[in-house]
Amino acid sequence: MRFMMSKRRWTAGITAALTALLPFGAPAHAAGPPTHHGDPHQAARSAPTYPPVGPATHFLDHAALLGDTPEPGWYEANIPFVDLPDADIQSTYYYRWRTFKEALKYTGPDDGWIVSEFLGPVGYSAPLGGIDAAAGHHLYEGRWLRDRRYLDDYLDYWLTGSGSGAKPATDGLNDNTTDWAHQYSFWAVDAAVARAEVTGDWDFLLDRLPQLRRQYESWKDTNYDESTGLYWQTPVWDAMEFTASSYQSDDPYHGGDGYRPTINAYQYGDARALALLSHKAGDRRAAARYDKEADDLRRATQKYLWDDDGDFFKHVMRDGNPSHTPIADREEIGFVPWYFDMAPASDASAWAQLTDPDGFAAPYGPTTTERRSPWFMHDALDGCCRWDGPSWPFATSQTLTALANQLIDYPKQPYVSADDYVSLLHGYALTQRKNGRPYVAEAHHPDEDRWIYDSRGHSEDYNHSTFTDNVLSGLLGIRAQAGDSVELAPLVPASWDHFAVENLPYHGHNLTVVWDRDGSTYARGSGLRVWIDGRLRLHRPDLRTTTVRVPRARPAVDQPELVDDAANVDGTGYPVATASYTWHADSPMDAIDGQDFHLDVPSTRWTSYGSPNRSDWLQVDLGAATPVADVRVVFYDDGGGVRVPQSYTLQYADADGQWADVPGQRREPAGPVARAVNRILVDPPVTTDRLRLTATRDDGGAVGVTAFQAWRRPDQGLHVAFASLTDGAVPVHADGTATVTTTLTATGRARRVRTSLQVPRGWTAPPARTIVARPGRPVRTTWRVTAPDGADLSAQAPVRVLADAGRGTSGAVAPTRYLFDPADFATVWDDDFGTDRLDGYRVNRPAAAEPAPEFTVHDGRLTAAADSRAFAVLAAPVTGPASGTAVIAEPAAFAGSAPEDSLFLGLSAGSGDYALAWYNNHFGTSGADVVTGGTGRPDATGGCCANVRWAAGDRFAAVLMDGSLSTWHEHDGRWHLLHTAPVSGAVDTATLESWNPAVGLRLDAGELSLNRLTVLTRG
C-alpha cells in the first residue's frame, strides 16, 4: 500500500532576493476552518496507486504465484515474476520480496524512503533507523523494482541525507569514523552502479558524483595504510563480531584491527565503479586515476592477503605482525574478492573449499569459518552473535554472487560448476525455513534445521542479505549492462526443461525470458525466447550465453513525487495518532510510523481488539493544516478477532473542532478490503489539521489499521522552506510570540503563487497572500505568530508553509520550540562555591557498586576526585514546578578519564528515582537517563545521542517544562538544544514537582570540577 516520495534538494546559487515583510501590525487570523480549493490536485488524484507496468507479456498466473501475500497490487506493479521447477527456490523468492517490502520505511519529507535492516528500531542505527552494514545488499536486491523512488531516496539518505550526517565516534558506534555512512564497511558506489545498470538511469548517479567520490575517499582518511597500500577494518565494523580472527586478538568481541578481504574488495569495487562513472561524465583523467587505484589495490591484496599455502584470501592482523602473516584459518570472507571480479583467474583453487567437507560445506551452509579451524563454532551456541561457523545469510548471499561471477565472468576451471551454484542456492532456500514456512533470521545452525540467532520481536524477516538478486542475476543469469543490452547466462541445471522470468523492469522496458525445451509448458514455442515490452526479440534453441540488444533506456513513468503529511516515523512531536480504544499490545502511532506489514511479532498496527465499543475511531492530528486529497488506509485482518470492517467513514475537524464527513470522496475500491490499499480521493481537496477514521463491523467486532497515510503532491516548480530555524525549530519566546521567515523559489516561468502559513489551532498568523514568483529570484516572507495564553511551548507544535500555483501544493513543516533563556526564569538556588555548602545537598548513589567521589569546595570550585570509577548525585534543597525548572552548571574542568568523564543535570528523588540529562566529555555525546523505582525507563529518555564538545566557559542546562526534560549547551553566549526526553511518560508532573534539582559527577580517575550551579524556576 505504499505511495512514494522522492525528496528534492535545492541548491542556492541565486543571489537576488525579494523580501515580502508582513508588518507585525498586519491583520492576523487564528487557525481557521478547513477550506476547499478549486482543483489543483487533479494530477495527484489521477496518478495510479502504483507505477504502471506498461507493454508486457501475460504468460504466468501472477495471482497464483503470490498466493495470500498482502497487497498483491504492489507486487504486480513492481517485481519480476518467476516460474521455476525448484519449488523451494521459487517460494523463497516470493517470500524474500515480501520481506523487502516490509523493510521499506517512509521517514518523512526530508529523507523519504529508506530500507531498514530490522523491522523495529535498534539503538545503534543512524537517524530514522538506517544501518549501512547491509545497505549494499539492499541496493542489489531492490534494483529490480519498477518503482525507482524507493532506492532513489535511499541512496540520497546515505549520500546527502541523515545517513550521511555526523555520528558519535564512540566504542558502541565505531570510534574510528565520524559519519553514519561509514559506521560499517559499505560497498556504496559499486551497489549504486549495479542498480543503474538495471534502471539505465545514469543521470541520477552523475548528478551525485561528488558525493559518491566523497563516500569512497573518506575511507582513505580513516582506514587506509600507505605502507601496505591496503585498507584495514575492525571485524565488528565489518558486521562480524566474535570471528576466528577476533578470537586471536586481545578483544574477541571487536576483533583485532586487520587487513581484510572485505573492505579491500569493497573499495576495489567502488574504485572501478567511479572509473565507469567518470568515463560517463567525460572525465578521462579521473577515470584513469580510479582504475589505477583499483589496480594498485588488487596487487596489494594479492600480495598480502592471498595465502599461497592455503590457496585463500585471509585476514592479516595489522598490529604486532611486522611480517604481515595471515591467520591460519580460512573464513568465508575470503570469497568476497570475486563479488567484484577482483581476484585473478589463477586464484580459482580457493573455490575448492566451498564444497570441501572440512572446508565450508554444510547442509545449511556455507559455514562462516572452515570446519578444520580450531575456532569453528567456538561458543557459537552460547548466544548471538558469533561468526565463527554459523550459517549467515549476509555472507551466504555474498558468496553466491561471487560464485556466479566466477562461473560466468571467468574462464572455466575444475573446482566449481553451475551445479554447485544451484546446490548452494537450493540449500540457502531451505535454510530460510521455520516450522516448515519461509523465514529468515540472523544466523542458522550449519548442520541442524534451526535458527540459532532468532530473537522474538527483533530477528523476524531479517533484511540483511540478498536472495532475489541471486535468483535473477545468478541462477537465471540476467546480467545487467552499462550499455543498451542485457547478457543472458543462466546457471540453471541441464535437467531443467523450463523456467520463466516475466516483466522484469530493465532500462525502463519490460524484459521477459522464457526457456521451454519442447514448448509444452508455456505454449509459446520451444527453446529460449526473449520479449521486450511484449514483443518477441530473440529465439534460439539452447541456453548458451547470449547478448540481447535493448532499446534506449526510458525514464520512469508515472512516479511523481508525493509527501505523506500523516507520517511520524520516530513517534515524537507531530503528527499524533490517538484512538477511542486500543488493545494494550498495539499503538495508534504504529498506524502512521511509515511502515506497513502484517506480522504478529513484531507488529506495526493499531487495533481495537477487546474494545467494549460498537465501533472505534483512529484519529490523526497533523498539528497544522495541510491539503488533503489522497488518503490511503490499509486494514489489518488476522482472520480471527480482528477483521476488515464492513464500512468506514472518513471525517475532518471543522473550525469549531466538530467532526464532519470529508466531502467529495471517491473510494478505490468502493468498499473496504483487507490487507490492501483503500484509497479515498478527495475532490476538491480539503485543507484541515485533523482526520478521523471510524471503522465498523456489522457484528461489532474489532478492527485494525496497519497504515494511515495522507499523500500530497508538491509542485515540482515551487520550493518552499523555512529560513529562520534554530536547531531545526521555530524559536518561540516565553510570551508565546515567534517570528517565522520562509522562502519561496520558483523554476520555469513567473507565476502567481498563493502562500500561507498554517499554525496550530488557537495560534494566530497573518492571512495567506498571493506572491508573484519569478525564476532565479527567491521570495522571503516574514510572519508574526502568536501562541494562546497557557499553550504548552515544549509540545513542538508545528507550523506549515504552503505554496500553491495550481499544479499541486508544495510545503514545508517545522516544529516550534521554546528557546531557552535564563532571563525568563527566577533564581531559587545559586551556588558559586565561594563557601562550602555541601552539607545542604542530599547525596545519592545511582550506581550502588560505584562509590561516591571525594567532594571538596575550594577557591570557588566544587571538585569531585577519585582514583577509580566513582559516581554521585548532589540534590539541591529546593524544588521547582514541572511547568518550568532549569538546572544550569558551568564546568571548570573535566578529568580526562575514560570512558566515564560525565556531568549529569536534572531532577532526583533518590538513588532509584531520577531524570538526569548527561554529557560525556570523553565521547563528546549527550543524552538522558530516566529511572523510577530502580528500573530504567528507556522509553522516556528520547533516545541517544547528541554530539557536542565542551569548551572552557561553556555551560550546560537541563530544563523541565510541561513534562519534557531538554538539554541545552551554551557556547559563545548562545544556547543550543541538544536533546529532549519525554520524562512525563515515566513520571507524572505532580511527582516531578516533588523531586529536587540535582547535579551528578561520574569519572574513572582524576578530578572533575564545577564553577557554579544554579537552579531557576518560572510559572
Q: How far is Cα 740 from Cα 375, in angstroms, rounded to an integer?
A: 62
> Could you say which of 818, 850, 867 is where a domain stops?
818
Summarised one tens digit per residue, pLDDT across range 27-77 is 344 444 444 444 444 434 457 899 999 999 999 999 999 999 999 999 999
Of 3-12, 491-500, 513-522, 664-673, which gets the smallest average pLDDT?
Answer: 3-12
For the cut 60, the answer to whether the pLDDT of residue 1011 exceeds it is yes
For the cut 90, the answer to whether the pLDDT of residue 906 exceeds it is yes
Decide if 714 contacts 775 (C-beta within 8 A).
Answer: no
Summarised one tens digit per residue, pLDDT across range 215-252 is 999 999 999 999 999 999 999 999 999 999 999 999 99
Q: How far is Cα 286 from Cα 273, in angstroms, rounded to an integer?
A: 12
Q: How many helices (H) and strands (E) does the chain have?
A: 16, 57
Decide if 881 contacts 953 (C-beta within 8 A).
Answer: no
Domain that holds residue 828: 822-1017
Rg (CA), the chain: 30
What share of the chain in percent tops pLDDT 90?
88
Summarised one tens digit per residue, pLDDT across range 270-295 is 999 999 999 999 999 999 999 999 99
- Stretch 651-659: mean pLDDT, rounded? 93
Q: What value does the mean pLDDT of the chain take?
A: 93
26 and 136 part of one domain: no
- Stretch 886-900: mean pLDDT, rounded? 97
Q: Is residue 674 part of a domain?
A: yes
| Pairing, β 437-438 against β 478-480 | unpaired
Q: How far is Cα 459 from Cα 441, in angstroms, rounded to an integer?
A: 5
Indicate the burial class of 768 (C-beta count within 10 angstroms; 0-12, 13-18, 19 or more): middle
- Stretch 470-490: mean pLDDT, rounded? 98
For the cut 90, the answer to whether the pLDDT of residue 575 exceeds it is yes
253 and 387 part of one domain: yes
Decide if 581 contacts 611 (C-beta within 8 A).
Answer: yes
For the cut 90, the answer to whether the pLDDT of residue 12 exceeds it is no
For the cut 80, the answer to whether the pLDDT of residue 394 exceeds it is yes
Q: Is residue 169 part of a domain?
A: yes
Summarised one tens digit per residue, pLDDT across range 116-127 is 999 988 889 999
410 and 437 part of one domain: yes
Decide if 733 contacts 623 (C-beta within 8 A).
Answer: no
440 and 576 part of one domain: no
Q: How far is Cα 480 from Cα 469, in angstroms, rounded to an integer?
A: 11
CATH of the domain at 767: 2.60.40.10
Contacts of 617 by beta carbon, 8 Å cutoff, 6+ apart: 579, 580, 692, 693, 694, 695
| 494: phi then psi, degrees, rounded to nearest 5 | -65, -20
> Could you say which of 457, 478, 499 is where a domain stops?
478
Residue in 427, 449, 442, 431 with CA at minimum distance from that of residue 355: 427
Q: Is residue 239 part of a domain?
A: yes
pLDDT value, residue 41: 44
CATH of the domain at 367: 1.50.10.10
Number of folded domains that form the chain: 4
For the cut 80, the answer to whether the pLDDT of residue 990 exceeds it is yes
620 and 633 part of one domain: yes
Residue in 1010, 1007, 1009 with CA at minimum distance from that of residue 895: 1007
Q: What pLDDT band is residue 23 in, cutting at 50, 70 and 90?
A: very low
- Stretch 500-504: mean pLDDT, rounded? 98
pLDDT value, residue 341: 98
pLDDT value, residue 947: 86
CATH of the domain at 655: 2.60.120.260
Q: How far is Cα 902 from Cα 921, in angstroms, rounded to an integer?
A: 6
581 and 454 part of one domain: no
Q: Is residue 922 part of a domain?
A: yes
Summarised one tens digit per residue, pLDDT across range 141-184 is 999 999 999 999 999 999 999 999 999 888 899 999 999 999 99
Residue 699: count of CB within 10 angstroms of its CB: 8
Sheet of 258-259: strands edge to edge? Answer: 224-225, 230-233, 258-259, 316-317
Report the half-sphere exposure of 957 (CA within 13 A, side-chain side): 24
Summarised one tens digit per residue, pLDDT across range 267-276 is 999 999 999 9
pLDDT value, residue 317: 98
Q: What pLDDT band is residue 749 in, cutting at 50, 70 and 90?
A: confident
Of 284-288, 379-383, 443-447, 960-964, which gets the smallest average pLDDT?
Answer: 960-964
Q: Which helix (H) or strand (E) holds 586?
A: none
803 and 875 part of one domain: no
Q: How far is Cα 463 from Cα 104, in angstroms, rounded to an integer?
A: 10
Decide if 857 contacts 837 (C-beta within 8 A).
Answer: yes
Q: Which helix (H) or strand (E) holds 435?
A: none
Q: What pLDDT band is residue 4 in, cutting at 50, 70 and 90?
A: very low
Q: Is residue 499 part of a domain?
A: no
122 and 231 part of one domain: yes
Decide if 560 contacts 41 (C-beta within 8 A).
Answer: no
pLDDT value, residue 74: 98
What share of the chain in percent tops pLDDT 70?
95
> Could you say which of 800, 818, 836 is where a domain stops?
818
Q: How far is Cα 523 from Cα 191, in angstroms, rounded to an integer?
A: 37
pLDDT value, residue 36: 45
Summarised one tens digit per residue, pLDDT across range 414-425 is 999 999 999 999
Q: Is residue 335 part of a domain?
A: yes
CATH of the domain at 1005: 2.60.120.200
- φ/ψ region of 126 (left if φ > 0, alpha if ψ in -120 to 50, else beta) reads beta
Listed in sequence order, the DSSP H helices in 380-479 are: 393-409, 418-431, 468-469
Of 35-39, 168-172, 572-576, 987-991, which gets the smallest average pLDDT?
Answer: 35-39
| Pairing, β 1006-1017 against β 861-866 | antiparallel
DSSP state of 805: S
961 and 865 part of one domain: yes
Decide if 96 contacts 440 (C-beta within 8 A).
Answer: yes
pLDDT value, residue 1: 33
pLDDT value, residue 164: 98
- Stretch 683-709: mean pLDDT, rounded? 96
Q: What pLDDT band is residue 93 in, cutting at 50, 70 and 90?
A: very high
795 and 828 part of one domain: no
Q: Is residue 332 part of a domain?
A: yes
DSSP state of 944: S
pLDDT value, residue 46: 58
DSSP state of 112: -
Q: How far is Cα 388 from Cα 245, in angstroms, rounded to an integer?
A: 9
- Stretch 542-557: mean pLDDT, rounded? 95
Q: Is residue 495 part of a domain?
A: no
157 and 216 part of one domain: yes
For the cut 80, the answer to whether the pLDDT of residue 829 exceeds it is yes
Residue recorded with cell 535473477: 472
943 and 921 part of one domain: yes
